[in-house]
Amino acid sequence: MNDYRDGVRRFDKAARGLGQHIFERIIRIDEELKSSAQEIRLRVNKPVMIYTAADTFYLTCDGAAVKEQQPGRMIIATQRNISDSFQTLCNYSVYSRQNEIRKGFITTQGGHRAGLCGTAVYRGGEIYNIRDISGVNLRIAREIFGCADKLMGYIKDLNGGMLICGPPSCGKTTLLRDVARQLSAVYGKKTAVIDERGELAATFAGTPQNDLGYSDVLDGFSKCDGVMQAVRCLSPDYIICDEIGSSDETFLLEQSLNAGVRVIATIHAANSKELLNKPQGLALLRTGAFEKIVFLKTRENPGEIKKVYSKEELLVGKSAGNNNDNNRRSVVGASPFPKNNKQNYVF
């Protein structure tokens, strides 16, 4: 199946997660737009919007999509529309999706992810639920075979791991899918995928819906539990996971390096300055788990590489910038982890 037809099919499948009123109209938009759409956004009492890498479209009552609002023709998302979509996305079982909802998203069959806006309900200092849903951002998952071809030229020569950086919607997750497929099926490497949110493999009833080659998929595992499970039981050459950053996750990746496992992971950072200014980004580099740091281009060029650094290039530059600040400790050799975190994990 070519990318165009696959894009149309994935849009149609993702759109089925919307309430019937909106679905019946959005399914009629032009296939060219379907094939390139990245997001469908519903906001209460606002027009239904469709985003591509380059443009924003508004859905009309007759199933068209236009670049400028036309009063009287727009589909306005009501609270009922959003409530219906929320129920549909949860497959009419909100309780069973509570663990995802409290994290702010729902992953649907096919790996499509719906981000949620609403009112946070706290319990014990943590978000327990999100109620009164007021907005839904449905991100359409893509599967593009061969999109990691250029990246594989760097990965196959790695002695350590790789950190893939970029802004939202620049193709990080799509790239990871192809990396997992190629590592396991083309290069014959034992590859474990920690699929915490179900976006990478899109596992449904135990069967991955996306092609990750011969990867071992740990679906729904937290990254901390998944890394430990993989290292202890699966003897992987590579571990792949999406969107890392907490101190616990960072420490686990350091431990996987000590166990001889290479990690390929992603983080939100548009450029080296943004990465180094993030406490979690700097902590990741300090672990030594990542030999190469790859920055992707913008959402207008999904999956395309902008720049590749070694960890030394970034850390030396950061350390030099700190020499004029006596109140800040040197990057090299400094431990970013609270000591009580390190004693909690034993491989």
Per-residue tens of pLDDT for the chain, all 347 residues: 577 899 999 999 999 999 999 999 999 999 999 999 999 999 999 999 999 988 999 999 999 999 999 999 999 999 999 999 999 999 999 999 998 899 899 988 888 999 999 999 999 998 999 999 999 999 998 888 999 999 999 998 788 899 999 988 788 998 999 999 999 999 999 999 999 988 899 887 788 989 999 999 999 898 889 998 999 999 999 999 998 877 777 777 777 777 889 999 999 998 999 999 988 888 888 888 899 999 998 766 667 899 999 989 998 866 555 544 333 333 333 333 333 444 344 44
Determine the angle formed by the axes of helices 247-258 and 279-286, rounding to 10 degrees. 10
* Token reading at 125: 């200092």
What element of type H or E holds 185? none
Question: Helices 223-233 and 247-258 sit at what angle, rounded to 10 degrees?
Answer: 10
Alpha carbon distance 139, 185 (integer Å): 27
Domain boundaries, the chain: 3-139, 149-342
- Please name the residue that has the structure tokens 């996971």: 241
Helix axes 279-286, 311-322, angle to 10 degrees: 120
Q: Which superfamily is assigned to 149-342 in CATH?
A: P-loop containing nucleotide triphosphate hydrolases (3.40.50.300)
Q: Are 253 and 247 in contact (CB under 8 A)?
A: no
List of residues 6+ apart from 19 with CB closer than 8 A: 80, 81, 82, 83, 84, 85, 87, 88
